[in-house]
Chains A and B, each alone.
Chain A
Amino acid sequence: MIADAVYTVMFYGFSAAVVILALAAVNMRQLLRAALALMGMLALSAALYIMLRAEFLAGVQILVYVGGIVVLIVFAIMLTRSSELLEDLPRTSTRWYGGVASILFMLVACGALCMTPFPVQSNAEPAGDEIRKIGLALLEQGSSGYLLPFELISLLLLVAVIGGTVIARKTRPRNQPFTTGGDLHGEAIVQAARGQGDVTPGDRHS
C-alpha cells in the first residue's frame, strides 16, 4: 500500500519534471540553457528506468547520454557560436503548424494506446538478474540471441567515428574526395592579412 502510493507519487513527479524539462529543451532560445534542460531531462529519464527495474539501462543512460552526448552538444554549440548568436525565433505560422501537428500526433497515439488491449502480466516481478540476462542475450546465437546485431552495431560505431573525423577535420587532404574543404577560406583570409602568400579563397576548389 505505502509502496504503491510512493510509486505513484514518484511516477507523476518524475513525469512532470521530465515533460517540463523537455518542453524547455525545445522552446528555450538560448541553446546552452536548452542543452542544460536536455541534460536534466535525460538524467531524470534514468530515474524512470530505475522505476521500471532497468538499473543497467539507467547507468548506461547516465554514462552515454549525460556524460557523452550532452557534452558533445555543448561543444558543438560553442564551436558554432550558437550561444552568442541567439537563434532566430521561428515564424508564428511555423510554430502553429508544429504545435498542431505534434498535438494531433499525441492525441492519435494516446487514443490508439488506450484502445489497444496489451497482454499485461500483472503481479509479475522481474527476476532481478537482468544484467546477466542482457549479457547472455547479447552473445547468444540463434533465434533469441542478439549476436549479429551486436557485431553490426560495433561496425556502425566504427563507421560513425571515422565519418565524424573525416567530415569535421580541419585540413584538406590532398586529392581526396568527400571532404568539406576544411576552413581554408579562413586560413586564406588570415594569410592575406599577414601579407604573405597570395592564396585566394577560390583555391580550395582547385
Chain B
Amino acid sequence: MTEMLARFAPGLQEWLVLCAVLYAIGLYGLLTRRNAIALLMAAEIMLNAAALNFVVLNRFTSPQLVDGHVMALFVVVLAAAEIVVGMAIVVALYRIRNTVDISHMNYMKG
C-alpha cells in the first residue's frame, strides 16, 4: 500500500494541473455569475491559482532561489489592492442604482 502511494507521489505535472483546474473554476465563475461581488470572488480564485503556480514552478525548477515566492507575494498584494478598489466601486454603484447585478450596469452604453 505504501509502495503504491509512494509511487504516485505528485510531481510537477500534478501540481500544475491542480493550478489549471483552479484557474478554470475561477474562469467559470467569472463567466457565469451575475452578482458583481461574486465576480470579484471568482477573480480571487484565479489570482490564488496564479500565485500557487509561481510557487510550484519555483519549488520544482529552482528550489534554491526565491523568485517565485517574491512574485507570489506581489500577486497577493495586487489581489488585495484589486479587491479594495473593486469593493469600493461595487458599494458606490449600489448606492446609485440599488443593485449589484452586472446585467443592469449599462450606464456607459451608447
Residues of A within 8 A of B (CB): 1-2, 4-5, 7-9, 11-12, 15, 18-19, 22-23, 25-27, 31, 34-35, 38, 41-42, 45, 48-49, 52-54, 56-57, 60-61, 64-65, 68-69, 72-73, 75-77, 79-82, 87-88, 90, 94-95, 97-99, 101-103, 105-106, 109-110, 113-114, 118-121, 124-127, 130, 133-134, 137-138, 144, 146, 149, 153, 156-157, 159-161, 163-165, 167-168, 180-183, 185-186
Contact = CB atoms under 8 A, between A and B. Distances in A.
A19 B49 CA distance: 11
Contacts, number: 257
Count class of interface residues, chain B: 35 or more
Given A146-B70, A157-B77, A82 B35 contact: yes
Interface of B: 1-3, 5-6, 8-18, 20-29, 31-35, 37-38, 40-42, 44-45, 48, 51-52, 55-67, 69-70, 72-74, 76-85, 87-96, 100-101
Nearest to B42: A26
Interface of A is mostly: helix
Q: Which of A38, A88, A181 has the most CB atoms of chain B within a 10 A radius of its CB? A: A38
A121 B59 CA distance: 9
Given A22-B25, A109-B23, A48 B40 contact: no
7 contacts: A53-B59, A80-B100, A94-B32, A102-B31, A134-B66, A164-B88, A180-B92
